[in-house]
Structure 1
Amino acid sequence: MISEKERNVFEGMAIPQILLSYNNGKIKIELVSDSFCNMTEIDRDSIQNNVAELVHPDDLASLSVCFLKFVEEHSNLDVMFRVLDKKRNCYILIHGTGLWQLMEDGTEMILFYFDDTRRIQNSIRHIYSCLKEKDPKAEYNDAVTGLPNLKYMRRFADEKLNSFGACITQQVLIYIGVKSMRSYNDRYGYDKGDALMLLIAKTIKEEFPSSFCGRAVEDHFVIMDEFYGYENVINKINSINQKIKKNAYGITEGIRAGAYVVNPEIKAMNAFDHVRQALKDIGKDMNVICRFYSDERDGELLTERHIIESFEEAMEKKMIRVFYHPIICTKTLKIYAIEALARWIDPLRGMISPGEFIPVLSRYHLLYKLDLYMVEQVCREFEVRKKSGLPLIPVTVNISAQDFDYVDVPEKLRKILEKYGIDSDNIIVEITEQDIAKGTDSFKKQLCSIRENGYRLWIDDFGSGYSSLNVLGQYDIDRIKFDMAFLRHIDDNNGKNRRIMKAIVNMCRELEIHTLAEGVETESQLEFLQEIECELAQGFYFSYPKPIEETKKC
């Protein structure tokens, strides 16, 4: 039993600490010092009643395991974890040490005392800043590894590259990134993180003893060395990675690297751009540890930059055109509808493929602008089709799931159609199966609104690798559009795609969902669709996509 006097003394201590009792497998917080409350900006009642809710969710499981081991083995406890600072609405990292405390009445309790890592880090920064003022070389040295730092490389990088360029052999620039460094610091503490940086620096020098090596931004290193072949570089990077994983404190995910065989005439800034891009291109591929930059990738980056920089002008000057691709009724072979496809005709580069510009616009989250632009061009050309005597059949437009994150799609559609006097039954909305399968609640709500406003809704690319049949039950779907891969591989693997398509067509008929197959290129494929009673077809067998002036009358 803790007396009132003992409580007052403990709670008034200047040391951030918590006293816990442990009886019959149950742990209870008995006392919390004022200093701990002040450090965490959390009141005493919240700590005593809801301590688990204050610990960062990613740290709670590991903290529980460490604490259980501490209790079962009657050992000491040394952990780093994050606690919610309610006042600042953020998490702070604290260092906790636990030990067993023998009380005067003979019972044992757990004493947990803490350090505020922010205060420690600020003190360390202050010490280093003082050292730098006294050491004239410190401004060019990394304080942790002793390697040349980013400031040094910015100052002397071109000079270093020029000196390497004077060598007979080719040179290679390597940019190493440490995987999940933030997680490592959170788990083991910043002192262990610094130790990992030092280990990496030493290991790099072991594998590249004659190279220039520097520490760039935070958890990145730069190497300049003679180039003895791609395999030689990859083997050395693999060796560094294995040694780091073997010798590091705790568990680390190791390193990855981007590399570039240096053109002697290139500037340092461009060379560094190349290796950073090569490292970035690895992405989430767990099977690649080192990737080399290529001139082909340089061309891709130039194309990407042109697309982003020219996109607004391309829309304004109508360089992005609507090409129409007919959709045919398999019974009558008459046009049922036409699909609106975007084609970018650039005055300098010629036709830019949708396979180039659509992924770029998607990465930069600009698809909503393209999709709404296309809807407006389609509506504008309804009048052109009417005056030219072309059939006023429905037009399908492609809408991306991204669009719903940036605009109110139903409202935007309504305003555009109202502007041109077009009825909603003249526009069919196509959403890819990939998008519809992973749509958010907001996406689903807007999609239902589109359907309620009189638009037909089709699922595009059905069966393209993201198939989830339950989407057919979640939404009011008018039609599914089989991905062209079905017909392209119709006879592969003993013709299983034939049986799959027939089964899905029959199932859709039961669900009152219509069907369409794209990618029709031969008469035999059309005959198969007629045989299984797939209602609509689309493909080069009938026609290629064409601009409105080349569209023929039915």
Structure 2
Amino acid sequence: MRADGSERIVRCNEMMLSLFQCSTEKDFLELTGGCLRGMVIAEDYRQISAQLGVWQREKSADAHYLDFELCTSAAHVRRVDMYLRRIEQDGEAFWSIRLMDANMRTLMHVPGAMDGLLSRGTFYQEALRQAMKDRDMHVFGSHCPVYFNITNFKLYNASCGYAAGDRVLSHTAAVLKEMLPGAILTHLAADSFLVLAPANRLTARVEQICRRINHFIAMPGVEVKAGLRFFEAGDTSPVTSSFDEAKMACDAAKKVVKRSWAIYRKSMSDRVVLHTYILTHFTEALQKGQIKVYLQPCMRVLTEKLSHVEALMRWDDPQHGLISPAAIIPVLEESGLIHELDAFMIRSVVKLLHYQKENGLPIVPVSVNLSSLDFFEMDPFAVAEEIMERYGISHEYLRFELTETAVVRDKGTLRQALQKFHRAGYHVWLDDFGSGYSSLNVLKDYPFDLLKLDMAFLKNFNQRSRDIILSVVHMAKKLGIHTLAEGVETEEQLRFLRSSGCEQIQGYYYGKPMTPEALYAACDKGTYSVESRAESHLYYHPLRGHILRQIRKVDASQTAQMMTFSAYGRSYRVTMKRIASAQALHIYQAKFEDITEELQYDDKVRQTDDVMRNL
């Protein structure tokens, strides 16, 4: 593999093909995309790549060791040991890599409670023998593969010492033998155990095992998770590969904080294959234009005009079709590649704004999502400034959204970066408000311009969720922060949000994400009326205070009220009136008229009158 930062694979041998279950070098290169990124499970890639970068800069010829997990062409997950050394040939630097299946290493018996556990080789032989016996007796499925993993075990060893870590392993082995009599057990790796156990009441036993071991560990963030692979009638899956599937279930359990175990589903294998495909082909998809920008309309509640659109990515893959962002984003974040996508989205959106400007189309402001990881892998502000300056686009047309979870994790880097965006005139919004754990602290510590209410509030649309939304909207108004509710799908939800004072809405009620061409066509047909630049500024401009005063005049006089203002060389008349009332809630209508020519005509008439009077 090249040692120039590209991580491109130059060639591979038969042992490598066998490890990845590939028949030819072409199959291997297609599976991996011809780079290290495609060889490593997404969760491990970022750390592996960073360590390689360190060794590459050192230019040392010493041998190095790493371990990671890979996914084979048959969707089997394997942990491997990687031994590598930097070499030079014909003046070029390469990494010479040798991979070894970790399961092939001989497990030495650990004294004490670890005694009685089988070596890996013996374990698999016994598991096959038990499976054949169960088939012969027509009770196949009466034993179940289970994968146990102590999460963040390296952290435990680093904090408590390796002697304490050995005691945890010994205790784990003792608990497994006590709670699973008649089971076949092995210690797979430093933090993992494999078990073939009787399936009767197994989930209850696994729950109790995890509880006992976690009580012994007694360290937040370090806990036991388990994956179970039950067999159904007529199941012909190989027993050995079923342990890989149990591991997939264990990995799924790790992503659910309050769950100690998970049961394998076929979708888990499909997900692993898809994740590997995403990691391997993402860069190629960017280069070939398979990653596309879709736009979802966001409407102003007061006028029912299109206030802006949110830019969302779609991957139109020739093999898998449209790949869901829900599958793509986590893989890119885990592997440290999310900044490549977000930089692409920023540049693509600015090019769309330039297209609208050059072709006389209404310029619709666009919001772009940023990951907290972007601020460590690149400078999002510099990326935005460069492309905005190149195409001559005003900052008011590009907004940035950050999730609440990302902000909660911030240690100061984000806050400084957001200040740069604000000083330059960009709007910065807080996405998924209410989904995190420290919402009020976020509002206290960060100067956001708008809150996007998490759509979970609208999924269970009951009185409690209504009360929460009302409270959030009223609080935001007192803080001078604008509000937008996403996930709006029904007329009932729209009526409530309008009455609550929420300013903007987004959701399928007004439109699904669509291509830019589809949005332009919808605007041309009159499906959407685009909010003018002056109208947009009115809601974010200090003149917004004048509008609120107009509303109070309407309330006092019970009649329509009128005001005029100027922006960017144009003059406007705004007529406000109340159109509905219900108890303490009132709905107002604002009518905007461009009166620039009218005022210019009146000015010419006055000039003529002045001339006539002076004759």
TM-score category by the smaller chain?
0.5 to 0.7
1:254 and 1:442 map into 2 onto residues whose CA distance is 30
- Is the CA contact 2:168–2:217 (under 8 Å) kept in the aligned structure 1? yes
- State the TM-score, normalizing by the size of structure 2: 0.57
- Displacement of 1:395: 1.3
- Is the CA contact 1:520–1:540 (under 8 Å) kept in the aligned structure 2? yes
Which residue number corresponds to residue 486 of structure 2? 518
CA deviation string 1:36-64 (max 9, x = no partner): xxxxxxxxxxxxxxxxxxxxxxxxxxxxx
Which residue number corresponds to residue 254 of structure 2? 283
- Is the CA contact 2:297–2:308 (under 8 Å) kept in the aligned structure 1? yes
Q: Say if 2:130 is the partner of 1:164.
A: yes
Residue 431 and residue 260 in structure 1: after superposition, are their counterparts in 2 closer, same or farther (change >3 A)? same
- Is the CA contact 2:147–2:193 (under 8 Å) kept in the aligned structure 1? yes
Determine helix, strand or coil for the equivalent of 2:316.
strand
- Is the CA contact 2:395–2:426 (under 8 Å) kept in the aligned structure 1? yes
CA deviation string 1:441-500 (max 9, x = no partner): 121111101111221222222233445234344343322223334455554239424632
Which residue number corresponds to residue 321 of structure 1? 292
Residue 186 and residue 550 in structure 1: after superposition, are their counterparts in 2 closer, same or farther (change >3 A)? closer
Determine helix, strand or coil for the equivalent of 2:511.
coil
What are the within-5 Å matches in structure 2 for residues 495-510 of structure 1?
495-497=466-468, 499-508=470-479
Q: Who wins on radius of gyration, i.e. which is larger?
A: 1
1:313 and 1:183 map into 2 onto residues whose CA distance is 36
CA deviation string 1:382-424 (max 9, x = no partner): 3433455431122111112111111112111112223333232
2:187 to 207, 210, 215: 215
- Is the CA contact 1:141–1:147 (under 8 Å) kept in the aligned structure 2? no
1:452 to 423, 440, 463: 423
Q: Say if 2:432 is the partner of 1:464.
A: no
Residue 438 and residue 221 in structure 1: after superposition, are their counterparts in 2 closer, same or farther (change >3 A)? closer
What are the within-5 Å matches in structure 2 for residues 333-348 of structure 1?
333-348=304-319
1:547 and 1:473 map into 2 onto residues whose CA distance is 37
Residue 547 and residue 143 in structure 1: after superposition, are their counterparts in 2 closer, same or farther (change >3 A)? same
1:142 to 102, 105, 109: 109
- Is the CA contact 2:470–2:500 (under 8 Å) kept in the aligned structure 1? no
Paired letter, 2:128: N
- Is the CA contact 1:343–1:353 (under 8 Å) kept in the aligned structure 2? yes
- Is the CA contact 1:490–1:497 (under 8 Å) kept in the aligned structure 2? no
Residue 313 and residue 258 in structure 1: after superposition, are their counterparts in 2 closer, same or farther (change >3 A)? same
Which residue number corresponds to residue 261 of structure 1? 230
- Is the CA contact 2:407–2:442 (under 8 Å) kept in the aligned structure 1? yes
1:241 and 1:502 map into 2 onto residues whose CA distance is 43
2:224 and 2:352 map into 1 onto residues whose CA distance is 54
- Displacement of 1:180: 7.6
Provide structure 2 residue ranges, at least 5 long, that are not aligned to the other structure: 1-104, 524-528, 530-615
2:451 to 464, 475, 480: 480
Which residue number corresponds to residue 534 of structure 1? 502
- Displacement of 1:375: 1.0
Paired letter, 1:142: H
Q: Say if 2:365 is the partner of 1:365.
A: no
- State the TM-score, normalizing by the size of structure 1: 0.63
Paired letter, 1:435: A
Residue 491 and residue 283 in structure 1: after superposition, are their counterparts in 2 closer, same or farther (change >3 A)? closer
**RMSD value over aligned CA atoms?**
3.7
Q: Which range is displaced more, 457-466 or 313-322?
A: 457-466
2:248 and 2:129 map into 1 onto residues whose CA distance is 24
1:224 to 196, 203, 215: 196
Determine helix, strand or coil for the equivalent of 1:410.
helix
CA deviation string 1:270-303 (max 9, x = no partner): 3332233333333276754443322221122222
- Is the CA contact 2:225–2:254 (under 8 Å) kept in the aligned structure 1? no
Q: Which range is displaced more, 234-243 or 514-523?
A: 234-243
Which residue number corresponds to residue 80 of structure 1? none
1:250 and 1:523 map into 2 onto residues whose CA distance is 50
2:148 to 173, 176, 186: 176
Determine helix, strand or coil for the equivalent of 1:520.
coil
What are the within-5 Å matches in structure 2 for residues 39-54 of structure 1?
none
Query: How many residues end up aligned between the 2 structures?
Result: 406
Provide structure 1 residue ranges, at least 5 long, that are not aligned to the other structure: 1-137
Determine helix, strand or coil for the equivalent of 1:216.
strand
Paired letter, 2:320: R
- Is the CA contact 1:325–1:340 (under 8 Å) kept in the aligned structure 2? yes
- Displacement of 1:201: 4.1
2:351 and 2:229 map into 1 onto residues whose CA distance is 49
2:204 and 2:248 map into 1 onto residues whose CA distance is 21
Residue 199 and residue 140 in structure 1: after superposition, are their counterparts in 2 closer, same or farther (change >3 A)? same
Residue 319 and residue 237 in structure 1: after superposition, are their counterparts in 2 closer, same or farther (change >3 A)? same
Residue 404 and residue 266 in structure 1: after superposition, are their counterparts in 2 closer, same or farther (change >3 A)? same
Q: Say if 2:388 is the partner of 1:417.
A: yes
Q: Which range is displaced more, 155-164 or 335-344?
A: 155-164
- Displacement of 1:326: 1.9
1:494 and 1:237 map into 2 onto residues whose CA distance is 36
Paired letter, 1:165: A
2:269 and 2:436 map into 1 onto residues whose CA distance is 30
Which residue number corresponds to residue 90 of structure 1? none
2:374 to 386, 403, 421: 403
1:533 and 1:196 map into 2 onto residues whose CA distance is 56
Residue 191 and residue 309 in structure 1: after superposition, are their counterparts in 2 closer, same or farther (change >3 A)? closer
Residue 480 and residue 495 in structure 1: after superposition, are their counterparts in 2 closer, same or farther (change >3 A)? closer
- Displacement of 1:546: 1.1
1:402 and 1:210 map into 2 onto residues whose CA distance is 47
Q: Say if 2:378 is the partner of 1:384.
A: no
1:242 and 1:472 map into 2 onto residues whose CA distance is 37
- Is the CA contact 2:123–2:186 (under 8 Å) kept in the aligned structure 1? no
Q: Say if 2:516 is the partner of 1:545.
A: no
- Displacement of 1:371: 1.1
2:196 and 2:473 map into 1 onto residues whose CA distance is 60
- Is the CA contact 2:404–2:436 (under 8 Å) kept in the aligned structure 1? no
Q: Which range is displaced more, 162-171 or 350-359?
A: 162-171
Which residue number corresponds to residue 345 of structure 2? 374
- Is the CA contact 1:174–1:258 (under 8 Å) kept in the aligned structure 2? yes
Paired letter, 1:400: S
Determine helix, strand or coil for the equivalent of 1:166.
helix
- Displacement of 1:427: 0.9
Residue 234 and residue 389 in structure 1: after superposition, are their counterparts in 2 closer, same or farther (change >3 A)? same
Paired letter, 2:130: F
